[in-house]
Amino acid sequence: MTGERNGHSATVAGPLAGYLVVDLSRALAGPHAAMMLGDLGARVVKLEQPGTGDESRTWGPPFVGERDSTYFLACNRNKESVVLDLKSAQDRDTLDALVARADVLIENFRPGVLDRLGFGTEELRVLNPGLVVLSISGFGHDGPERARPGYDQIAQGEAGLMSLTGPPDRPMRVGVPIGDLLAGIYGAFGVVAALAERERTGEGRMVRTSLLSGIVGAHAFQGTRATVAGEVPSGSGNHHPTIAPYGAFQCADGYVQVAVGNEGQWRVFASAVGLDPDDERFAGNADRLANHDLLVDAVERAWSDLTRDACLERLTELGVPSGRVRTLDEVYAWAQTRSQGLLLELTHRTAGPITLPGPAVRMEDLHERNVLRREHLPPPTLGEHTGRVLEWLSDPTADRRCAVPADFTST
């Protein structure tokens, strides 16, 4: 791609520069996928319903600016907001025009809703044979429970994740909406694969995923414990279920995390906490798991008079992987976080200067220069770009690829 497709100027960097994404989704899974594509350089037009817009705008407090929630800010950077009423024939025509020019359409309605609005798979194919459609649902687009609404915590429970999290006797949700996030990540991955395929075939593709699929796809070794070994895993608190010592240990002023991943590290660690590495109770990983409570107690007694800093300094000297448990304010103040470009300083239309957690992916050329977009759009206010986008669509003299510049923000 040259960077000029669909109106992106050549200064907008990233492998998806020049691609147009129409984002019909709301809440988190779909918006997160669309934001990832925007971070990679795509132009993302977010379509919202009149009056309220994406319901996540109201998911607060806290709120900023004209009552947009910080929840909304977390998943809608690098987008333009256009208000459309899809029950209106005129606004459906506008969507027709956008779909005809788009590379990607993202939606997370319940299965069947888009068909009832007149934008089913066949209709979309007629409008744009090369369109890649990402469709995200709660529990899948077919099967006996296809019609269930998708909410993250419900999916965390239904997909078994809560049974693996927290102490053994009390299922616990993950502290972020991980089902939504995983579905968005897998969805964006599927979109990029479909776009690569389209370069060869010229044809679009329907990409489907769900909160259920995202969580089950991330079961990892816990899944094979169940499917291969026939075990039913349960929560193991702040300690690893199959490796020891691997977890959070209390010291005089808080917790220190330790990850002893092999027997060489065990021998070094054991000596550091006053244990005999050849003690038959702890000699092998299976022994340490069988006597885990004894091991935790021995380590925490050895560290009861030591501060976190003292423990971490000693573990670092010994080459034992370790770390502290940080609060989010500590994470965002951490020099290492900032060195990775994980914070963006932007100016929101009504809230003014804001700081957002940034993209998790970096791309560099052979000279270690950033090749991703250098100008990030702040999350839009409701309908902020409606006029400009409609003007572009209605101008008969405009090139069909011409669009709002990627660095455009309202004043």
Residue 40 belongs to a domain? yes
Residue 225 belongs to a domain? no
For residue 212, give both structure tokens. Answer: 């259920």
Residue 354 belongs to a domain? yes
Are both 324 and 340 inside the same structural domain?
Answer: no
Q: Are 354 and 342 in contact (CB under 8 A)?
A: no
286 or 369, greater pLDDT: 286
For residue 287, give both structure tokens. Answer: 């022994």
The C-alpha atoms of residue 57 and residue 72 are separated, in whole angstroms, by: 5
Nearest of 21, 15, 407 to residue 184 by alpha carbon = 21
Residues whose CB is less than 8 angstroms from the CB of residue 151 and which lie 6 or more positions away in sequence, other chains included: 138
Average pLDDT score over residue span 368-394: 89
Q: Which backbone phi and psi does 390 adopt, to 5 degrees?
A: -65, -35
Helices (H), 202-339: 211-216, 220-227, 263-272, 285-290, 292-302, 308-318, 328-333, 335-339
Q: What is the pTM of this model?
A: 0.91
Does 67 have pLDDT greater than 90? Answer: no
Confidence bin at 366 (pLDDT 50/70/90): confident
CA dihedral in degrees (111, 115, 117, 121; nearest 10)? 120
What pLDDT score was predicted for residue 408? 45
- Which own/partner pairs from 363-372 qualify as long-range (CB within 8 Å, at least 24 positions apart)? 363/14, 363/15, 370/13, 370/341, 371/13, 371/14, 371/15, 372/13, 372/14, 372/39, 372/40, 372/41
Average pLDDT score over residue span 40-56: 94
CATH number at residue 267: 3.30.1540.10
Residue 56: its H or E element = none
Are both 16 and 104 inside the same structural domain?
Answer: yes
Q: Cβ of 264: how many Cβ atoms within 10 Å?
A: 11
What pLDDT score was predicted for residue 101? 92
**In the listed set 307, 328, 349, which residue is the last one of a domain according to the structure?**
328
Three-state SS at 337: helix
Residues whose CB is less than 8 angstroms from the CB of residue 382 and which lie 6 or more positions away in sequence, other chains included: 48, 53, 57, 68, 81, 83
Confidence bin at 403 (pLDDT 50/70/90): very low
Residue 32 belongs to a domain? yes
Are both 108 and 201 inside the same structural domain?
Answer: yes
Residue 45 belongs to a domain? yes
Are both 149 and 270 inside the same structural domain?
Answer: no
Confidence bin at 390 (pLDDT 50/70/90): very high
The C-alpha atoms of residue 31 and residue 78 are separated, in whole angstroms, by: 11
What pLDDT score was predicted for residue 128? 96
Buried b (16+ CB within 10 A) or exposed e, 171-181: bebbeebbbbb
Residue 353 belongs to a domain? yes
Confidence bin at 61 (pLDDT 50/70/90): very high
Three-state SS at 44: strand
What pLDDT score was predicted for residue 12? 60
Domain that holds residue 77: 5-218+336-394
Three-state SS at 118: coil
Does 98 have pLDDT greater than 50? Answer: yes
What pLDDT score was predicted for residue 24? 96
Are both 269 and 345 inside the same structural domain?
Answer: no
Pairing of strands 352-357, 343-348: antiparallel
Residues catalogued as catalytic = 180
Looking at the structure of the chain, the number of domains it has is 2
Are both 299 and 168 inside the same structural domain?
Answer: no
What pLDDT score was predicted for residue 1? 35
Are both 291 and 340 inside the same structural domain?
Answer: no
Are both 15 and 157 inside the same structural domain?
Answer: yes
Are both 287 and 143 inside the same structural domain?
Answer: no
Confidence bin at 166 (pLDDT 50/70/90): very high
Ranking 327-331, 380-384, 400-404 by mean pLDDT, the lowest is: 400-404
Are both 269 and 204 inside the same structural domain?
Answer: no
What pLDDT score was predicted for residue 363? 87
Confidence bin at 410 (pLDDT 50/70/90): very low
- Burial of 355 by CB count in 10 Å (0-12 exposed, 13-18 middle, 19+ buried)? exposed
The C-alpha atoms of residue 295 and residue 406 are separated, in whole angstroms, by: 56
Residue 306 belongs to a domain? yes
